[in-house]
Each structure stands twice: as structure tokens, then as C-alpha cells.
Amino acid sequence: MSDFIHPRVALLGAQSGAWQLPVCDHYSGVEALMRKSLKLQADMQQEFGSCLFDVTLDCEDGAPVGGEADHAELVSALVLQAESKSRVAVRVHPVGHAAFEQDIDIIVRQAGHQLCHLMLPKVESLADIESACSALDAVGNNALALHALIESPLAVSNAFEIAAHPRVQSLSFGLMDFVSSHAGAIPQSAMNSQGQFSHPLVLRAKLEIAAACHANGKVPSHCVVTEFSDKQALQSVARRAAQELGYMRMWSIHPSQILPILAAFAPDQSEIDDAVEIIAAAIKADWAPSAYAGKLHDRASYRYFWQVLERAHQTGRELPLSTQQYFANPI
């Protein structure tokens, strides 16, 4: 057998650098809830041995009007207080908003080295991404990753161009703003857990965003479910987003949504079991074709089953020690 090559490198090649993000992005903007979110993240990281969800501290909806600077200072302090291995992001005000550059100056200048990414709301075009990059450069940060929130028909039309920018890791879909941006042409029912999968314009927007991300090695992130107390609705939306629309990540707006999102995006246990055996056989065969359960497998199916294992790890599923070793030292 030749020298060991990590499965991600062997199977994904040039794509091995594609972004790997937790499947849940949890939002909070009120001080008490932000602190609780960070504590929950630390507790779950200790329990599972890895960070299963991002915490995004919100300035856009969290800051009171007139109190944007004080809120930015609070967010900056919370980021700096977070544990070193945590994943904490910030949603700033939109590019062009009076508080945008202030958010960047306070939060990124003070705590940018602790952030996993910056969420940009109301992104309409590539020009907005470039303006954000210029603002980051101005405070001495030319490496912080950007996530873009797509919330309008114009933004959807520019999704491929936005996703292609090298600083962009992920595109998120903003359902409620997208619906309301149509001046009443899309009914309110398109914002609920059922209607968002049946209205053609909403469904098209979701598919465009997912396609733009996958074409550029980025992560599509699904919108919130506002019926936060309806666990069945949440699980249905999350499962459909993952299995039907190709989404790899989803927003949470209440702590009770985190575990159901992880469960919905996790592979089935039978598929995990198959993936463990198939990847083990592939490594033994130096990635040459091999047989499992009467079926022939080669690099195409190896690639699929390796990604099953990656999703299992991202969602906290239990893996045998022989498989866990691949995730001990991420590449």
C-alpha cells in the first residue's frame, strides 16, 4: 500500500479546500440571549468534542435605534470573551447603512481576529461585497471571511457572481425580506413552513442560491422557520432543504431549533454504517475499485460516501474510532 492520503484530499482533489461549516447557524441579538447562546455552544462543544453550530451575534436587528455604537461595543466584548475554539460571527448593518462602517470599526478592529466570519445583510450585488472588503481592509483585516444574505430579486439574479467572490464562504436566503420585496405580488402564505416550498418564485430563489453556491464550492444556508415552537414544522423544513434543495446549513433563531436542525441534516444511520465500510475498503484498495454488499464502488461513489462521513461528523453523529481519526486533525 502506498503512503496514506487523507480521504478528503484523495477524493476531492482541488475541491478539498471547499468550505466546511457547521450545519447550524444560531442567531441572537439581545444581551441575555447572546450570552446564553455562547454558553450553550461551549457546553455542546465539550459534550460532542467539536463545534456543531456557529453563534452569530446580531447587530442589524439586535441594536436599538440610536444605540448602535453601544451595541457594537457589547458584541465586540462578547466575541473577545468567547472561548478560543468557539465559532462566533457577527451580522453587521448593511453596506450603505449609517452604522455599517461604525460596526466594522468597533467590532472588526477590536475582535476581528476572534471572528469566524462576518454576515452581510441586504447584499444586492458584487459591488456590495467589494465595498465590505474595502471597509475591512481599512481596519487592517484582509482575511475575514464573508457570508452574504440574499434577500431580494436583484440579489438572486446576481447570486452566481456574489458566490464567486473569493472572500465569500456562504450565501443565506432571507425569506421574509424576499417575499416583502415583491410589493404584495407574493402572498403571506409563502413565508410559512409549507408555502415556502410551493410558491414558484420563492422556490426558484432557493434553487438559484443553492446552485450558485455549489458551482463555486460555497455553502448554501437555508432561511429561518418563524414557527419556532413547532418542532414538526422545523424538522420538515430542514429535511426538505437538505434533501430536496441541496442546502448544507440552516439558520436557528431559538435554542430549541438547534438539535432538530442537526438531526435533519444528519445522514441516516444505515448510510453512515455503509460509508464507514466503503471508505475503509477504498483505503485498503488504495482508492482502486472495490466491492461492498454486492455492488461495485469506485472514486465517484467513494466521494459520495466520504461526504456522508463528513456530514455525520458535522452533525455530532457517533463514528467508530477508526473513522474519527480522519477528523482529529482537519486539513
Residues 162 and 56 in one domain: yes
Query: Would 2 be classed as within a structural domain?
Result: no
pLDDT value of residue 306: 95
**Domain CATH code at residue 239:** 3.20.20.60
Same-domain pairing of 248 and 280: no
> Same domain, yes or no, for 195 and 285?
no
Domain assignment present for 45 = yes
Pair 51, 86: CB distance under 8 Å: yes
Q: What ranges make up the beta strands (E) of the chain?
A: 24-28, 53-58, 88-91, 115-123, 146-150, 168-173, 219-222, 249-252, 290-292, 295-297
Show Cβ contacts of residue 26 under 8 Å, excluding neighbours closer than 6 positions.
37, 41, 53, 54, 55, 56, 251, 252, 253, 255, 257, 258
Profile the chain (331 residues) by mean pLDDT over runs of 10 residues.
76 70 97 97 91 97 96 98 91 97 97 97 98 97 97 98 98 97 96 93 98 96 88 93 96 94 96 96 93 94 94 93 82 60
List the domain range (segments joined by +) for residue 221. 24-265
Do 292 and 250 fall into the same domain? Answer: no
Check if the beta carbon of residue 199 is closer than 8 Å to that of residue 186.
yes
Q: Cell numbers for 194, please give them.
A: 409549507
State the greatest distance between any 2 C-alpha atoms of the chain, in Å, as a whole number. Answer: 66
In a domain, 76, yes or no: yes
Read off the amino acid at residue 160: F
* Domains held by the chain: number: 2
- Do 82 and 184 have their domain in common? yes
Tell me: do 128 and 273 sit in the same domain.
no
Q: What is the pLDDT of residue 287?
A: 93
Same domain, 84 and 183: yes
Give the pLDDT of residue 164. 98
The reported pTM is 0.92
**Same domain for 222 and 297?**
no
> Residues 120, 148: contact at Cβ < 8 Å?
yes
What's the pLDDT score for residue 19? 67
Shared domain check, 292 and 256: no
Examine the domain organization and report whether 74 and 121 are in the same domain.
yes
